[in-house]
Chain A
Amino acid sequence: MNSSSDLHVRYVAQLARLKLSEEEACRYQEQLEQIVRYIEQIRKLDVRGIEPTAHVVERVNPMRADDPAPSLSPDDATANAPLRAEHLFMVPKVVE
């Protein structure tokens, strides 16, 4: 994990496509460092012998059989699109 000094709010904001003012960036940087310091307390715990887990519940393998169900109509599917054409979601041109 990054130490607090490595985590720059500007970088995180860019990854999240957030536009921050200078004042916001300063304030959030401070808050972010507080959060990271808090997490670092957890890092001090002795977790030897404890199996890592990504979930707190005991359940595993909730799965679905491969049976199709009806989909939305293309009109409904694209109803909220700001722009649509021929049932396609239209977005600003993507340049590769």
Chain B
Amino acid sequence: MNYEAVIGLEVHVQLRTRTKMFCACANTFGAPPNTQTCPVCLGLPGALPSPNFEALRLTALTGLMLGGAIAPRCKFDRKNYFYPDVSKNYQISQYDLPICVGGELVLPRENYPKDAQKTVEESRRIRLVRIHLEEDVAKSFHFEAATGVDFNRAGAPLMEIVTQPDLRSPEEAFAFLSTLRLVLLYGGVSDADMEKGQLRCDCNVSVRPVDQEELGAKVEIKNMNSISGVRRALAHEIERQMDVARNGGRIAQETRRWDEAAGATFGMRSKEMAHDYRYFPEPDLLPVVVDSWIDEVRRAVPELPVARKERLMRRLGVGESNAEVLVADRELADWFEKAAATTKNANGVANFVVNDLLRELGAAGKPLVESPIAPEALGALVDLADAGRISSSQAKEVFAEMFRSGRAADEIVVERGMEQVSDTDAIGKLCDEVLAVNAAMVAQIREGNVKAVGNLVGQVMKRSQGKANPAMVNAALKEKLGI
């Protein structure tokens, strides 16, 4: 019997705000333990929460970017449970009235793992259930005999995005997370760095016979800290479940933990009772109504990666692979567009950005903002090459010098005397000189050894100190030799 996997994701995203969700403590990563806490985020008795508008705005923006419906009115609820990372014994979250309902994400082929892109057949649409806002919990450090708790992260604004069980493979889960991450970066919603825990993901996965409608027993996998880790964990877990199913076994509904080093999932100590979080409305917070501010958020929705790629290709004539590289990094695409605005040859600029600029930045270990070449300066180099004033190999040389010194392209061309000679008379004169001293070779060529023309072209180039336009030299020689 053939089985298929059914996967749904719950993605937690730390929002890029300056302060926490319900208090004015700084929301930054990596500070010494318990240096960013106050009575509110420590859960001290009597402390009252006050919502951060920016967190609501960013969550609504995410909902709009993903095509969801923003609820006219939403509220906060208490999710009650006991754990050392929730000192109030409840987490403020949203239960029945989340800020955003529905939405979807289309998975472009280029966001699948490289080795799986060939087999992607159609653009998959993954529907979203909801997006809600809650507070993050404290971070625990497990020691030999005790657990230490740091509340710097407690109360940080955390957005949860829940998908429908629409994903069918680890590769689709990978593509979903890569695509989502890019959207979040485009919106400036989150830095979405999985290593810093800014993007965290729980996977719900089950298997069922391909012709069966009903879902199999659901296993939740926790503790994944990279997008490729999600892919590996799902691949392993699906294989495990299919093995059990094929051997007539029963898959237990449980929570499992992914162990990256072991490359396997392990069952977590399961609680005997089903979770009962006794949600109820948070009495310390009033409802949120969006009508007075949602239009402003609507206007802030940026052009998203898929639309931008289309525009770069259709309107600017950028090649598809260049467009994919550019769009995968919003800053890089912005940089490119600034450069492209100064020339007619946008794809010429794209070639330099994708090949030369990225290589040089990588070699120098510099981020894009520290590029010695300003975007406006690159257009001039492309124009010089397009006008035939320098050859393409000279353009590479000029680029290297621009990157080294930050100087302008035309300045370098003039200083190095590179300017290509495209003057027909001057080239004709050089050709005549070369033909005059190569009588033997000219005779050979006339007898049919056409290949020897290359040698003559080289000699003309040498006499011009590399400045002659090689294509024009070639044409002029052939004309003079009558071939």
Contact = CB atoms under 8 A, between A and B. Distances in A.
B45 to A, nearest CB: 11
B88 interface: no
A78 B142 CA distance: 18
A59 B286 contact: yes
Q: Interface residues of A toward B: which range?
A: 35 or more
A67 B149 contact: no
B145 interface: yes
B151 interface: yes
Contacts of A15: 80, 276, 278
Most chain-B CB neighbours within 10 Å: which of A64, A71, A85, A96? A71
Give 7 closest A-B pairs by Cβ, nearest first.
A88-B148, A54-B281, A69-B24, A66-B54, A63-B53, A89-B149, A74-B34
B288 interface: yes
Contact of A90 (B25, B75, B146, B268): B146
B428 to A, nearest CB: 70
A5 interface: no
A60 to B, nearest CB: 4
A55 B143 contact: no
Interface stretch (B35-43, B362-370, B463-471): B35-43
B19 interface: yes
A54 B94 CA distance: 13
Interface residues of B, number: 52
A28 to B, nearest CB: 17
B475 interface: no
B388 interface: no
B148 A71 contact: no
Main secondary structure of the interface of A (DSSP, over half): loop
Given A66-B17, A77-B42, A93-B143, A71 B150 contact: no
Interface in B17-72: 17-19, 24-26, 32-39, 42, 50-56
Given A54-B75, A60-B286, A88-B141, 17 more contacts: A55-B287, A62-B286, A63-B50, A63-B53, A63-B56, A63-B288, A66-B55, A74-B37, A77-B42, A86-B33, A87-B33, A88-B33, A89-B149, A89-B150, A91-B148, A94-B84, A95-B269
Contact of B24 (A55, A67, A74, A83): A67
A6 B353 CA distance: 67
Contact of A96 (B19, B143, B269): B269
B289 A60 contact: yes
A68 interface: yes
A17 B82 contact: yes
A45 interface: no
Given A62-B286, A68-B18, A69-B24, A78 B34 contact: yes
Nearest to B57: A66
B168 interface: no
A96 to B, nearest CB: 5
A49 interface: no
Contacts of A93: 142-143, 145-147
Contact of A91 (B24, B39, B84): B84
Contacts of B24: 64, 67-69
A68 to B, nearest CB: 5
B236 interface: no
A71 to B, nearest CB: 5
Interface of A: 14-15, 17, 53-55, 57, 59-69, 71-74, 77-78, 83, 85-96
B405 interface: no
A66 B75 CA distance: 20
A61 B287 CA distance: 6
A2 to B, nearest CB: 11
A86 B34 CA distance: 10
B53 A64 contact: yes
B32 A91 contact: no
Contacts of B288: 60-61, 63
12 contacts: A53-B287, A55-B287, A60-B286, A61-B287, A64-B24, A64-B51, A69-B24, A74-B34, A77-B37, A83-B146, A87-B150, A94-B140
Contacts of B55: 66
Contacts of A53: 287
Given A15-B276, A88-B150, A93-B146, A74 B33 contact: yes
Contacts of B18: 66-68
A61 B292 CA distance: 10
B286 A68 contact: no
Contacts of A64: 19, 24, 50-53
A14 B272 CA distance: 12
Contacts of B218: none
Contacts of A61: 286-289, 292
A53 B192 CA distance: 35
A22 B398 CA distance: 88
Interface string B201-229: 00000000000000000000000000000
B257 interface: yes
Given A62-B286, A88-B34, A71 B26 contact: yes
